[in-house]
């Protein structure tokens, strides 16, 4: 027995004592293969899952390394059965392989005939397969590559895909490192993806995922389709590619609600790709419009279900997913793993921060006491209305305004979910509001004024959750959100993590109503950031309000 920070339990939970001097070191070590479930004050609970272990395996970690980490940091003897289970689970990845065949095109192969026999008996898998060539090899019907990987993952036998990729139509793309240099982790991320063929790169907001995409394009030297969350993000990608690569304006097309340009590099929004006309996805033909050599999925954790379905048909194209977190609130992480690809590169947020590439951040939860009248109204509200009610009370609004005034000399973002709440904050503070119906040109104008410092405070709806580049934002005040969304919390913190010209840190306030579902949701939202090493200080709203009166 050692005095380690970790307690490893036979039900695959890991308890991390965060007051232990080795807790940060241990957290970084287990982050590669374990998922955080709960993060109260002193003990954080992680869980080992099959998908987490397979992602670790795909990213280059083997069972021996995982076992060594558990043994090194565990306070008590690690259950032997759990160690066996870790080794056996990780060994499942790659026991089945998809490979190209000179005669039959695509085959499913295994050195373990019993495994091949087991999966071929599956009712959903058998129709995807053709002739059995020998006890270790069976033909796969053309076009079933993606669907087969999905089905095998659900059976607990994730296939490693060695079937190769088409090069696509050649198009010269090089990085232009004029006045900047690609960072080592960006280079490693692009190389990790390229050698793997397809997969996901996980980097914090503000760490330069666009540069990783550009470096991957330089590897591919081919036509590229880039899928992004919205038109603002599309234009930020275009501007960054024009600055950092040899691409010209004529070579980059925008495919959005307002433009339908198809060029050697085409940037399309998820929204236009999933628009239906008379029940048909009218724009999915874009996937076949050009012989693409690379498809990049920005913010892959937000990928809509229809895109997954179409991605299953284009498995011969190289696919790169970019994200700050593999967490999906809809539980579709397995679809990302099987259809986009496994995790190819990941680096802890705090490691990037220590290198000075993202700003250090202070996370503060401001606990608000509702008035007696608000408490009574909350208690009598219908269950489905309670979150909206407690998230938008007048008391919370007063605290958000007080915080904005305290930081009036800094660049402040107030972020929320409910438009009536944001309208009231915008009006009372006398600052602009950007929401879903704000025209694109007006959004760009306001963001530009904010970047120049001519506007000190902006109120923004969830349109600013992702892919908005506001490097000088130092203060974020979150007043409401999408219930307990961990990915949203990560994205919103990311709005203030861009490194500041003067080296200042950032502060992320989350205003939370005490003793309500708002507090419960806040704990869930903070799980991902706790996993990355961010601790939330809790302060009382009365202290904020009294400071404002002073």
pLDDT tens digits, one per residue of 255-311: 988 889 999 999 999 888 888 777 777 777 777 788 999 999 998 877 887 788 778
For domain 353-549, the question of CATH label 3.40.309.10 is answered with no
Residues forming CATH 3.40.50.300 domain(s) in the chain: 184-347, 353-549
Reading the block at residue 276, the tokens are 């239906």
531 in Cβ contact with 27 (< 8 Å) = yes
Residue in 440, 437, 445 with CA at minimum distance from that of residue 461: 437
Distance between CA atoms of 103 and 123, rounded to whole angstroms? Answer: 26
For 191, half-sphere exposure in the C-beta direction (CA atoms, 13 angstrom radius) is 7
**Res 40: pLDDT:** 65
Domain 184-347: CATH superfamily is: P-loop containing nucleotide triphosphate hydrolases (3.40.50.300)
CATH class of 96-157: alpha beta
**Res 289: pLDDT:** 80
Distance between CA atoms of 90 and 92, rounded to whole angstroms? Answer: 5
**Res 337: pLDDT:** 86
C-beta contacts of 31-34 below 8 A and 24+ residues apart: 31/346, 31/348, 31/531, 31/532, 32/56, 32/59, 32/61, 32/346, 33/61, 33/66, 33/69
Residue 272 three-state SS: helix
Q: What are the average pLDDT values for consecutive 10-residue runs of the chain, which has 550 residues? A: 86 91 89 78 85 89 94 94 95 93 93 92 90 94 90 93 92 94 94 92 86 97 93 90 96 91 93 80 78 92 79 88 77 84 84 83 87 90 86 90 91 90 94 88 88 90 68 84 68 73 80 87 74 77 73
**pLDDT tens track for 442-501:** 988 998 898 888 999 999 887 766 556 676 788 889 888 875 566 677 777 777 777 777
**Res 422: pLDDT:** 93
Residues forming CATH 3.30.70 domain(s) in the chain: 96-157
Q: Considering Cα of 148, then 149, then 154, then 156, what sign does the dihedral take?
A: positive
Give the predicted TM-score (pTM) of the model.
0.81
User: Which residues are 7's β-sheet partners?
Assistant: 15
């Amino acid at each position: 027995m050692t005095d380690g920070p970790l307690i490893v339990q036979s039900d695959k939970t890991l308890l991390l004592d965060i007051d232990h001097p080795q807790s940060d070191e241990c957290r970084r070590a287990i982050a590669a293969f374990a998922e955080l479930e709960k993060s109260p004050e002193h003990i954080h609970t992680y869980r080992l899952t099959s998908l987490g272990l397979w992602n670790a395996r795909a990213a280059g970690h083997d069972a021996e390394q995982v076992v060594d980490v558990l043994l090194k940091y565990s306070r008590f003897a690690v259950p032997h059965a759990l160690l066996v289970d870790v080794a056996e689970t990780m060994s499942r990845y790659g026991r089945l392989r998809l490979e190209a065949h000179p005669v039959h095109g695509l085959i499913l192969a295994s050195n373990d005939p019993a495994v091949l026999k087991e999966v071929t008996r599956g009712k959903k898998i058998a129709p995807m397969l053709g002739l059995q060539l020998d006890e270790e090899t069976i033909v796969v019907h053309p076009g079933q590559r993606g669907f087969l990987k999905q089905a095998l993952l659900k059976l607990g036998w994730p296939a490693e895909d060695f079937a190769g990729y088409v090069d696509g139509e050649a198009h010269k793309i090089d990085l232009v490192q004029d006045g900047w240099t690609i960072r080592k982790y960006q280079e490693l991320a692009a190389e990790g993806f390229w050698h793997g063929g397809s997969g996901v790169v996980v980097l914090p907001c503000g760490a330069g995922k666009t540069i990783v995409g550009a470096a991957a394009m330089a590897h591919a030297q081919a036509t590229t389709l880039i899928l992004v969350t919205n038109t603002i993000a599309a234009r930020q990608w275009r501007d960054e590619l024009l600055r950092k690569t040899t691409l010209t304006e004529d070579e980059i097309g925008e495919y959005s609600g307002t433009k339908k340009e198809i060029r050697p590099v085409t940037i399309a929004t998820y929204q236009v790709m999933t628009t239906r006309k008379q029940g048909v996805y009218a724009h999915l033909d874009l996937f076949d419009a050009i012989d693409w050599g690379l498809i990049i999925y920005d913010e892959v954790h937000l990928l809509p279900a229809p895109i997954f379905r179409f991605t299953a048909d284009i498995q011969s194209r190289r696919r790169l997913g970019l994200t700050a977190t593999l967490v999906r609130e809809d539980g579709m992480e397995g679809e990302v793993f099987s259809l986009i690809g496994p995790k190819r590169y990941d680096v802890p947020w705090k490691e990037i921060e220590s290198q000075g590439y993202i700003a250090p951040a202070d996370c503060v939860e401001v606990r608000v006491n509702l008035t007696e009248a608000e408490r009574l109204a909350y208690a009598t509200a219908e269950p489905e209305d309670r979150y909206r009610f407690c998230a938008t009370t007048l008391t919370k609004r007063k605290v958000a305004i007080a915080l904005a005034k305290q930081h009036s000399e800094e660049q402040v973002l107030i972020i929320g979910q409910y438009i009536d709440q944001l309208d009231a904050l915008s009006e009372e503070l006398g600052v602009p509001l950007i929401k879903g119906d704000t025209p694109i040109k007006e959004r760009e104008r306001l963001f530009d004024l904010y970047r120049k410092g001519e506007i000190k405070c902006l109120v923004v709806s969830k349109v600013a959750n992702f892919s908005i580049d506001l490097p000088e934002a130092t203060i974020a005040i979150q007043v409401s959100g999408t219930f307990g969304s961990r990915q949203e919390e990560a994205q919103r913190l990311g709005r203030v993590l861009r490194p500041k010209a003067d080296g200042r840190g950032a502060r992320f306030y989350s205003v939370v109503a005490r003793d309500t579902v708002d507090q419960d949701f806040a704990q869930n939202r903070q799980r991902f950031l706790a996993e990355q090493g961010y601790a939330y200080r809790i302060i009382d709203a009365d202290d904020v309000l009294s400071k404002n009166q002073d």
